[in-house]
Amino acid sequence: MPREETEKRPLAGRFMFDPQDYELLAIVNDVLDRGGYSSFKRVLGPYLHPRGIKEMAATKGLRIAYSVIHLLGSLESGKARDRLGALRALKNETLTAAESSLLNNTARVLLEIMKSLVRAPRGSLRQLKLAHDFRRAVSGKPRIIRSHLRRFHLLEMPEDWSQLAFDDHVHDANTKGRKSPTHLIMDAWIKGLRKLTVVYYNYVSVEAAEELLEAAEIMGVSVRICIELRVEHRGRYIKLLWTPRDVSNNEDFQAFLARPDTAEFMRQGMEASKQQQSYTWSALEKFNASLREEIGACYGVELPEADPKEFLKFVGVGQPSIHHLGYYLAAMVEQLKEDAAESAEAGGLAEEIIDRWLEPERNPDLPNPFIPGSMEDRPLLRRLKPEEMVERIHQMHPSSWISLDMVDLRVEDMLYLLFVCRGRLTHLEVFNLRAYERGMEVDYASALRLQAIINTGNAVQLKRLVRDACNALQSEDDPGWREVHSGLVRLLEDIPGFLARYRKKPLRTRIGSDSTGQSDRRHGMGLVVTDTLPGKARRQLKGECGRARMALPIAVEVAMRRTYAPYSPGGGLSSGLGSRLRVILDALHQGGESRLSWVKERFYVAPENRRNIRTLGGVSRRSVAFTSSLSPRGLAFYWVYMNSTIKNVLKILLGFAPAAATFQLTKDWWLLAWFGPFIWFGITGARNIIQSVLGCGGLKRSPLTKWSSYVSWERVSDSLLWTGFSVPLLDYLVKTLLLDKGFGINTGNNATCLYTVMAVVNGLYIFGHNTFRGLPRRAAVGNFFRSVFSVPLAILFNAAAAAVLGACGVAAVDAILQKWAAIISKLASDCVAGVIEGLADRGKYIRLRMRDLSCKISQIFDAYTQLEMLYPRRNVMELLESPKKLLAVISGRQSDLEKVVIVNALDMLYFWMHQPRSRIVLKRLLQCMTPDERQVFLLSQYVLRREKEVSLLLIEGLVGRKFNLALSFYLANVETYLDQVQTLAATCDASQCRPEYATGFAPHVQEDRQC
């Protein structure tokens, strides 16, 4: 669909999609065309809260789109800082987008949809569908989110983020991977990974480590940096994987790399990498000389010579390898192919080229740096034996993990290497997914058996294993095997000492995918232990074929650990009966908050029915199974992508039809026959609207926000749809057929039984459709009991109606009430629901505002701390009292701090005027502050009185090019806000502080006050 067609939609198109979809798509494409608005870069600043003033600058979709575009841009190292800023903004935007129970899963879906949107063909139907998908996903509805998770081949993760999802071997763009460190971390979080080990060849640069660790800190992913080293053993190279410990954060790792011994080691690693890359350049020359004609003839194209400069540009910041060369040549072949469809299916072309023409064994005429002795002047790191390399690492950084790559190693090799390295090999990489899929020999069964023998300290079994290994090597004539045999003989004489080295620090296991993010013929990054996933995700895995997500032949025993936090003192249960109740609850582990975690016990070779480690990546991301859009020919497509207004009307009509038919066919009184369905729907609609408005603040809401902006009309239409089908169920089947005609129960002889049965059936019905819609189990159960709780109220309404009718002299009161029984039961149920769900909405918004305001107030006190540190000889309180003097002082020395102070105040102004429940939460937070903290907060808001400086900042692009709305909002409301906040602060009573709001924002203020 060309873009010009999106502005003038055909008549049929008006029934599909929403105007907001076209608006979002037009803005995203405009950003793509321009390469990003420079004026929006400031919107990505860490101090601009996603729910604050920048909501007036751009829609959430645009802000997320800009962040994704910026992050997925160039892989050049010079843009790492921009990528990190985009990632930080992206996380903030997506994690605050949803208001449902599936917060993390909604954020994952939003990121994946926006990634696909910016990569989809410009102006295509796929782009439009993704724009609609994005807007639907923002709602966070469980059924929608789970549907998108399945479409994008993502597994639902627990919302407490307790899953065991990991990958001990991946690559980024600094080696042979496709993704920058920031992009890699983002994708890892989208997949649900919590722990990641990124492998670098021979050395790691300061820039790569800094970007990786900072990105991991932003997304909350635990990352280890690992360096792959090749050492000589039995006349060939084997791999050791070195992971420095106790340097996992950015500052510690930078200090570690700056040490002289580490810097020298990295320099020698660069020399080893350069020699390793020499084969790639030789292969490139051979391609230009002879291979290009052979490869071109094979694929029916005429390949030109490869330009080394273009190849380096293709590699980017990585280390040139035959992996890069294979993908570079595959790209050349695909560009020359005439059959576009064939080219699109040529995902495995690169690996085919590598296997057939580029592997060292295919080119024996080229010097092979991967075989010891094949090249002269080997670098120092290439001349070391395993025990020498391990000893050097130990001398340089004793707290290290050193793993042994098990590819092409026999059990005799494992025993020998563990022995000669004197217990300093801490891990065995028993399973490498890429090696397994390529058919390389990995004796993981023997490795796990050996690991179990060593960790259990079983000297008898170890002796038998070593003797069997010695006997197997007696007939070997190879000098390398003779050396191994000699070492195993020495091991026989020192088995107690060997086991003692692993007594305190057992030999551990590593499992990784060795993913580069490029091949669609291999399972990608990420592994997960299925026992730690939610029930829906486990059932989904059982229904999938093995090719989609492979079950590894290795399993792990896991133990669940739950940590309980007792009630804090002063939390409302601190005296008398409350104190005794708190002791009982703590003893039963029911008090306070609990945190779930999983502990890995042991790995073992598992039969197919007990395998519990699955890949998170699929074999082919390009296949139809992994697309995010439905077929435009199916009925499901027309329903999913229908215009929202039309869809909501159809839902209401679909629910209205059975309700109207029931009243028409079963009621002989014209009032009920014609107006019954309207009364029924009016009760439901009014309840939804009132509960939404009251949950967001009711009459105390901000006058700047209309009541209708708080109402989700899709939620109202869903309620009306399902309530329509409850009319024939409750009024005809239950009340008339079952109770009245079946058991003779009516309002005249047993109103209590009548309303109880109707309430229970209604509760079961609500529970059923809530479960079908994918709502949380807690909400479904709560809605069941809400109907049960409505029984006394229904009886009360029935009695009141009977009294009124009797007082008016109406005859046959029981007969009239029997006709109205279903509506009375409905009214009682919705009254209870209005109270319960209104309070639930209120609690939800209070939790959201508590999170938003706590973050913003913490930033306010952080800025105050910076002022105190910058001006140790000044009284910062006095500066805050005079905004003019404050801005004059800090503008000359710290212009960024001036903007931070203004931005924080603008965000607080927006919260107060626009965000539901901000006022009550701010009041509670102020009550829990000390007088000095309250004064700091209040004085920090006075900077808004500097209209010239604040207006200039908005005009210069703080919130983007469209600053008019934000500027007029600020000028019109600043004085009202400051007066109201000052009045609120003056009336705060510290004795009303609730413990859950006492967060201690500014400990430095408390220390000053105590001094």
Instruction: Tell me the DSSP string of 187-230.
Output: HHHHHT--EEEEEEES---HHHHHHHHHHHHHHT-EEEEEEEEE
* pLDDT at residue 341 greater than cutoff 60: no
Q: Decide: 358 and 295 in contact? Cβ < 8 Å.
A: no
What is the average pLDDT across 674-695? 85
Exposure on the CB side of residue 92, measured as CA atoms within 13 A: 24
Residue 202, Ramachandran bin (φ over 0: left; ψ between -120 and 50: alpha; else beta)? left
Average pLDDT for 117-131:
86
Helix pair angle (459-473, 479-492), 10° resolution: 150
Q: Does pLDDT of 762 surpass 80? A: yes
Q: Kindly tell me if the per-residue pLDDT of 386 is higher than 90.
A: yes
How many helices (H) and strands (E) in the chain?
41, 11
3-state secondary structure of 429: strand
For residues 12 and 16, give the distance between their C-alpha atoms in angstroms, rounded to a whole number. 7
The span from the first CA to the last CA of the chain, in angstroms, equals: 69
Amino acid identity of 10? P
Helix (H) or strand (E) holding 241: strand 236-244
Q: How far is Cα 853 from Cα 909, in angstroms, rounded to an integer?
A: 11
Q: Is 960 exposed, middle or buried (0-12, 13-18, 19+ CB in 10 A)?
A: buried
Q: In this structure, how many other beta carbons lie within 10 angstroms of the beta carbon of residue 700? A: 10
Which residues sit opposite 642 in a β-bridge? 16
- The single residue listed with the structure tokens 């991301």 is 621
DSSP secondary structure code for residue 818 in this structure: H
Question: Is 624's pLDDT higher than 60?
Answer: no
Token duo for residue 753: 């039984």
- How confident is the model at residue 97, as a pLDDT? 64
If DSSP codes are grouped into helix, strand and coil, which group holds residue 752?
A: helix
Residue 939 Cα to chain centre, angstroms: 37
- Return the axis-axis angle of helices 713-727 and 644-666, rounded to nearest 10°: 20
The candidate with the shortest Cα–Cα distance to 234, out of 92, 416, 96, 64, is 416
Is it the case that residue 786 has pLDDT exceeding 80?
Answer: no
Lowest mean pLDDT among 94-98, 304-308, 481-485: 94-98
Q: Answer yes or no: is pLDDT of 584 > 80.
A: no
How much is the pLDDT for 733?
Answer: 92
CA 207 and chain centroid, separation: 25
Report in angstroms the alpha-carbon separations of 229 from 20, 404, 405: 53, 10, 10
| pLDDT number for residue 772 | 81
Would you state the pLDDT for residue 5? Answer: 38
The yes-or-no verdict on residue 288 having pLDDT over 90 is yes
Query: Under 8 Å CB-to-CB from 40, ≥6 apart: which residues?
Result: 57, 58, 63, 66, 960, 961
The H-assigned helical ranges of 204-321 are 206-219, 250-258, 260-286, 292-299, 308-315
Percent of the chain's residues with pLDDT above 70? 86
Over residues 152-161, the mean pLDDT reads 92
What pLDDT sits at residue 483?
A: 93
- The pLDDT value given to residue 3: 41
Q: Is residue 720 scored above 80 in pLDDT?
A: yes
**What is the rounded distance in angstroms from the CA atom of residue 791 to the CA atom of residue 210?**
63
Task: Average the pLDDT over 6-33 and give the result.
Answer: 71
